Amino acid sequence: MAVVKHTSSDIDLLARLLRAEAEAEGVQGMLMVGNVGINRIRANCSDFKGLRTIPQMINQPHAFEAVTHSYFYQRARDKEKRLAKRAINGERLWPSKYSLWYFRPPGDCPPTWYNQPKVGRFKLHCFYEPTSETCSSVYNTF
């Protein structure tokens, strides 16, 4: 069952983001990017207050570098659409399970990002989740 409302074009949009942001990280890495995006919609806190839809989340200014590159605008493939649906249906993996931020540094992960603690790394991406004081809603189960 979906944890956020969506349309078929939302699935395509999220699938394109997963591919553009993390194709080199494989299936698990792309799913984790989807986790962060869905968490941002559900959390309604920090820099993500008022996000209610997948297009709002993806098109939020400065949220995802990939939307500025041409490969983001390639057609969504079935493989990434399936991953997008898994993220929309609430499948979450550690270290992205409660994360609202990730990025790919040129070296080691810094201990904090946007003043939030690092929770882990998967391949080249570092994941950061908010403290319960800054955003307890991300820890709600679904």
For the stretch 89-108, pLDDT in tens is 999 999 999 999 999 999 99
- The amino acid that residue 125 corresponds to is H
Distances (CA, A) of 109 to 8, 51, 99: 35, 27, 14
Name 103's bridge partners.
Answer: 126
Q: How confident is the model at residue 141 (pLDDT cuts 50, 70, 90)?
A: low
Specify the residue for token string 């809603």: 137
Distance CA 102, CA 81 (A): 21
Domain boundaries, the chain: 8-139
> CATH topology for 8-139?
Arc Repressor Mutant, subunit A (1.10.10)
pTM of the model: 0.95
Which pLDDT tens digit goes with each residue over 41-62?
A: 999 998 999 999 999 999 999 9
Q: Alpha-carbon distance 70 to 3, whole Å? A: 29
**What is the C-alpha separation between 138 and 135, in angstroms, rounded?**
6
Helix (H, G, I), strand (E, B) or coil at 116: strand
